[in-house]
Structure 1
Amino acid sequence: MFTTFAKMLPERQQLVVARWRFQKVREDFYRETRLDIAAKGLRNTETLFDRLETYEKRSRTRGKLEWRVFSSIRETMQRGESFSLAIKPFIPGDEYALLDIADESSRQDSVVRGFELAEMAAKAKRVLSSTTSVQMAYPALLLVYMYAYCMLFGGVIFPQVLDVRPLDQWPDLGRFLYHVDTFCYEYWWLTLTAIIGLVLAYFSSLKRWSGPLRDKFDRMPLLWRNRRDLRAALLIVSLAGLFDSNLTLRAALDRLLKTADPWLRWHLKIMDRRLTARSDEPMRALDTGIFSVTIVDTITDAAGRDQFEAAIKSLGRESLDRVVEAVKRNARMTHFMLLGFAAALFLTLGIGSYVVTGAVNLTSGNPAASSY
C-alpha cells in the first residue's frame, strides 16, 4: 500500500522514497556486487553495469521503487563518473569514503575490498541500530506507562482527593507529586513536543555536535559511545586503505578531511595539529578521544616497535567485527542504566502517587475515599 501511494508522488519525491528503501537493501547489494566482481574476471565497470541492470530489472518487475536508485547510478556512470561518485547521493558519507578510497587505490583487489568494507560498515550500522532499539524499548515502555499513571492521578484521582482534603493539608511529598501529575495531565502536548525535540536533537547531534563537551559524552556509557566506537572503527578501516595506497599519515588525514562531517572533522583537525607539532609521535596525534583505550594501547605498542602503519592495517581488517561485539556489550550496560532510571522514576512518581493518595485518604478520616 505504501509503495502504491509512493508511485503517485512526483518523480523527485519518488527518488527520495527509493533512497530510503535502498538503505535497507544496500548491504545485500554490496555483497552480491563484490562476489560478481571477484568471480567474473571482467573489468570492474562492466561487472557493475551488469549488476545494476540486474537489480533495476528485478525491482521494476516486482514494482519496487528501488529501481530508480539503480537506474540513477547506472546513468551517472554512463556519463563517465566513477561508481563511488554515482552512488554517493544514496549512501552514508562514511561508506562513500570507503568506496572512493578503493577507487583511488593502486591495489588490484581494491574494488573488491572496498565493497567488502562497505558491506561490513552497513552490517555494523544495522547491528548498532537494532541493538539501540532493543536497549531503548523496555525503558521507553516503562516511562510511557509511568506517564499514563501520572495523567490518571493528575486528571482523575487527585481532583477527587482535593474534595476530601485541601492541598495545603497534604504532606510535602504529596504536594510535589500533585503538581507533577497535574502538569503531566494539563501539558501532555508540551511533554510530547519536548520528547520529539530531544529525539531529533540526538540524531542531529551524531554528526554535527563536536567539541570538548561532546568528547566527554562520547566517553560515557550513553548512546553516543556506541556511535563513537563505530565511527572510530570506520576511521581505522579508511586509514588502512589509504596506507595500502602508500599515503603517509598526513596525506591520509588530508584526504579524509574532504569527506568528513563536522564531528569527525573536529577530531581530524586535532590530529593534524598534533602531527604538525610532533611528527615523530603519530599515536599521540590520533589519541583525541575517538578511539577506545584498548585500540589506543594496541597502536601505541606497535608504534613503539616502529610498526605503526602495520598495526593500523591489521586493525583495519578486524576492527568492524570487534566493534560489533563491543557495541553489544555496551548496549547491555546502557540498557540497565536506562532501565534503572526509568524504574526509579516509576517508583517515585507512579507508585508514590498511589501511596500519597492512600495516606491522604487515611488521615482525612473518610474511609470511602480509600477506594481510589
Structure 2
Amino acid sequence: MTHPLDWLLLRLAVRRLRRRRGDFYYDLASALEDRVPLYTILRKLEARARRRSRGDQLLYRRMLRAAMGGSLARALQGVMPPTELLMIDALQGGGDERLSQGLHFLSGTVEKVDGMFRAVRKAVAYPLLLLGAMTGILVAFSLHAVPVLADLIDPARWPPLGRALYAVAWTIRHHGLTLGAAVLAAGGLFVWSLPRWQGRLRRRLDRHPPFSLYRDFSGAMLVISLSSLMRAGVSLRASLERAGRFSAPWMRWHLRQILSRLSGRESAQFGRAFATGVLNPTMEDRVQDAAERRDPVAAFVRIGVGSIDRLQLGISDSAARLNGLLMVAAAMLLLFLLGGFLATVMEAQSSLQSEMGGL
C-alpha cells in the first residue's frame, strides 16, 4: 500500500513534469537520435532523481516499470495529456528515428497547446467570478438591506418594483441554501455532461456558449492530433480509430459518425465526413477545402499545425460574447436592486411625511 506522503509527492512530481514536458520531449528526442535505448534514458533519469527528489524518483521508477515492454506511451500514461499519448503511441511503431522526429515536433507545440489551455481557463474564470459577485450582491441585499426597509414600512405598501425585490429577498432568506445547493448541483452536472452528453439536442447546444467553448477546444485538439498522426504516416482511418482509444464519450460519438461516413458516400471527399458538429463552421470549411487539395494529407497537416493560434483567437471571441451577456445581466440586476430599494425608500419617506402631517 502506498504511503500517503509518497502519493502526494508522486502527484506533485507528475504536475512538475507535465509543466516542463516540452523540455522533457526535447531531451528524450535528442537521446533517441543518438540511438540511446528508451529504458537506458529512463533509468538515468531515475538515478538522477534519486539524489534530488523523492517524488521524481517515484515517478521515474513507475515509468521504468511501465516501459519494460519498450512502450513510451504506456510509460507516460497518467502523466501526459491523452492527445500527446495518442501521437506517441502511433509514432513508436515507426522506430526510434520517427519517434525522435515526433517528439521534436511535440516539444515545439506543447507551449502553444498550454497557451490554448490558459485561454480556455481565462474564458471560464471571468464569468464565474462575475456570477459570484452578482450572487454576493443579491444575498447582501436580501439579508441586510431589505429587512431594514420591511421594519420601516409594511411590504404590502411597497411599490411594484419594491414588492418584486421583497419577493426575491424572502425567497433567498427562506430557501437560499436549497437554491444554492441546486445551483451547485446544476453546475456539477453541466461539467460532468460536457465530455459525456450526446445526441441531437447536444449538437444544437454546441453551437452556443458555453457549450461552444468545449466544442471549439475539443474539435481543434482532434484536428491537431489527427494531423500529427497523419504527418507520421498513419492513415486517416487508422488515426481516427486511435483517437477513439484516448477520447471521452462525446468525442467517441463524433468519431463513430465520421468513420461511418468515411465508409459511405463521403469516402471520396473525407472533408464532408467531419460535418458532424465536432468542429466549428470555420474549421469544418478548412477541412473540406483541404480534402479537395492536390495533396489532402499535407493540407490537413497544415491546418492542424496552424489551428492553435487561431483557436486561441476564437476562444477569446466566444469568451468576449459570453462576458458581454453576463455584463448586461449584471447591469440589469443592479438596476433591479437599486431601483426597487430607492423606490421603496421614497415610498417610506412619503408615508412618514403623511403620518407626521396628520398629527
Give runs of aligned pairs for residues 280-299 of structure 1, distance below 5 A: 280-299=268-287
Give runs of aligned pairs for residues 1-372 of structure 1, distance below 5 A: 11=3, 14-15=6-7, 18-19=10-11, 22-23=14-15, 25-38=17-30, 41-46=34-39, 48-49=41-42, 52-53=45-46, 56-57=49-50, 60=53, 65-77=55-67, 79-105=68-94, 108-114=97-103, 116-117=105-106, 120-121=109-110, 123-124=112-113, 126-220=114-208, 222-278=209-265, 279-348=267-336, 350-366=337-353
- Give CA deviations for 1:32-84 in whole Å, capped at 9, x if unaligned: 33234226623350564156326734651xx6x3543232112322x325121
Do the aligned residues in 1 keep the contact of 2:141 with 2:169 (CA within 8 Å)? yes
Distance in 2 (CA, whole Å) between partners of 1:197 and 1:275 is: 40
- Give CA deviations for 1:120-160 in whole Å, capped at 9, x if unaligned: 35752x43443344445554444434433333332333333
**Deviation >6 Å, runs of 4+:** none
Aligned CA distance change for structure 1 residues 186 and 83 (closer, same or farther; 3 Å): same
Do the aligned residues in 2 keep the contact of 1:101 with 1:241 (CA within 8 Å)? no
Partner secondary structure for residue 210 of structure 1: coil
Do the aligned residues in 1 keep the contact of 2:76 with 2:85 (CA within 8 Å)? yes
User: Which ranges in structure 2 are unaligned for 5 or more consecutive residues?
Assistant: none
- Give CA deviations for 1:211-267 in whole Å, capped at 9, x if unaligned: 2222223222x2333332232222223222333454433333223222221011011
Distance in 2 (CA, whole Å) between partners of 1:196 and 1:51 is: 47
Do the aligned residues in 2 keep the contact of 1:223 with 1:334 (CA within 8 Å)? yes
TM-score by length of structure 2 reads 0.83
Aligned CA distance change for structure 1 residues 240 and 160 (closer, same or farther; 3 Å): closer
Aligned CA distance change for structure 1 residues 74 and 103 (closer, same or farther; 3 Å): same
Distance in 2 (CA, whole Å) between partners of 1:259 and 1:141 is: 32
The one-letter amino acid paired with 2:151 is: D
Distance in 1 (CA, whole Å) between partners of 2:75 and 2:285 is: 39
Aligned CA distance change for structure 1 residues 293 and 51 (closer, same or farther; 3 Å): farther
Aligned CA distance change for structure 1 residues 365 and 136 (closer, same or farther; 3 Å): farther
Aligned CA distance change for structure 1 residues 49 and 343 (closer, same or farther; 3 Å): same
The percentage of counterpart residues that share the same residue type is 25
- Give CA deviations for 1:183-234 in whole Å, capped at 9, x if unaligned: 22333333432343244233322321222222223222x2333332232222
Distance in 1 (CA, whole Å) between partners of 2:9 and 2:173 is: 37
| Segment of structure 1 superposing worse, 195-204 or 127-136 | 127-136
| Segment of structure 1 superposing worse, 354-363 or 277-286 | 354-363
The one-letter amino acid paired with 1:32 is: F
Do the aligned residues in 2 keep the contact of 1:27 with 1:119 (CA within 8 Å)? no
Do the aligned residues in 2 keep the contact of 1:136 with 1:338 (CA within 8 Å)? no
User: Which ranges in structure 1 are unaligned for 5 or more consecutive residues?
Assistant: 1-8
Aligned CA distance change for structure 1 residues 26 and 137 (closer, same or farther; 3 Å): closer
Per the TM alignment, residue 180 of structure 1 is displaced from its structure 2 partner at its CA by 0.9
> Cα RMSD (Å) of the superposition?
3.2
TM-score by length of structure 1 reads 0.80
The one-letter amino acid paired with 1:364 is: S
